[in-house]
Amino acid sequence: MHSKITLPLLAIIWLFFSSLANAEPLRVFVSIPPVETFVERVGGKYVDTQSMVGTGENPHTYTPSHKQIRDLTKASIYISAGIPFEDAWMNRIRSANPGMKVIDTTDIHDKTEHDKTEHDIHTWTNPLQAKLIAHKIRDALISIDPSNKQIYLHNYKVFAAELDLLNQDIIAIFRGKSNRKFMVFHPVWGHFADHYGLTQIAIEHEEKDPGARTLVGLIKLAKDEGIRVIFIQPQLNRKFAEQIAEAIEGQVISIDPLSADYINNLYTVAQQLSEAMR
């Protein structure tokens, strides 16, 4: 009688402790919050993810802290997104932890150039490119932790299906729009715009603020194109957007390219852009 109770109980206790033994998650570092979400979606409870650039910080001016460089020594994987600080810091990041696997996601984008003089690093704003980044993350996790391969394959599949649905829904949101132009301070939506057949007009050029003459030109362009909304992002200066909005009697709306709530945020972004394109 006793043994019938004790044996299954022992088995449960053993399973509990053996699961604890395997519970140490992989430490993954990424550069920006959306990619943190991609890692969490694919890795689930088997990853502990940290973003170098925090919510609300500007990736174009960010530099890593001493603490972050120290924490990097404990990381298994670093996922780079081609953010400016990475160009300057990648050697130091690598030498902080030579055993760390470094995954580069900057080569995933389609070959379209948005601006002939400038390479657009903001690849994750196109959900199908987000899917390619997630696929790279999946393969990296499998190569470091093959024992959980089936879980990573499954999690990726679920997330990829959500991104496909998001893509279809965004196509539907913009269907039938004849004026497909929008004005934005920092040209962060180039990959998004290309993919959905929209035209992004940037106020900032090569990360420089516009001069007085450029502003006058932008105001005229906005009037000619029937633009009524100037988009900004929460990390950056809204002064120039406000000047243009005032001149065209339009409004300034903030949309976030760096939200960690990737899917819900892109629905909101698509809705906001679409409503501005009357």
Under the rule (CB under 5 A), what is the footprint of Zn ion?
188
- Distances in Å between the alpha carbon of 123 and those of 99, 104, 134? 27, 12, 12
Q: Are 25 and 141 in contact (CB under 8 A)?
A: no
* Lateral strand order in the sheet of 251-254: 199-202, 181-184, 229-232, 251-254
Of 100 and 184, nearer to Zn ion (C-beta) is 184
Main-chain dihedrals φ then ψ at residue 51, nearest 5 degrees: -100, 135
Main-chain dihedrals φ then ψ at residue 186, nearest 5 degrees: -100, 130
CB of residue 188 to Zn ion, shortest distance in Å: 5
Which single residue brings its beta carbon nearest to Zn ion?
A: 188
The C-alpha atoms of residue 223 and residue 179 are separated, in whole angstroms, by: 13
Of 42 and 188, nearer to Zn ion (C-beta) is 188
Token pair for 237? 């200066």
CB of residue 216 to Zn ion, shortest distance in Å: 25
Of 42 and 258, nearer to Zn ion (C-beta) is 258
CB of residue 145 to Zn ion, shortest distance in Å: 32
CB of residue 169 to Zn ion, shortest distance in Å: 25
Of 114 and 135, nearer to Zn ion (C-beta) is 114
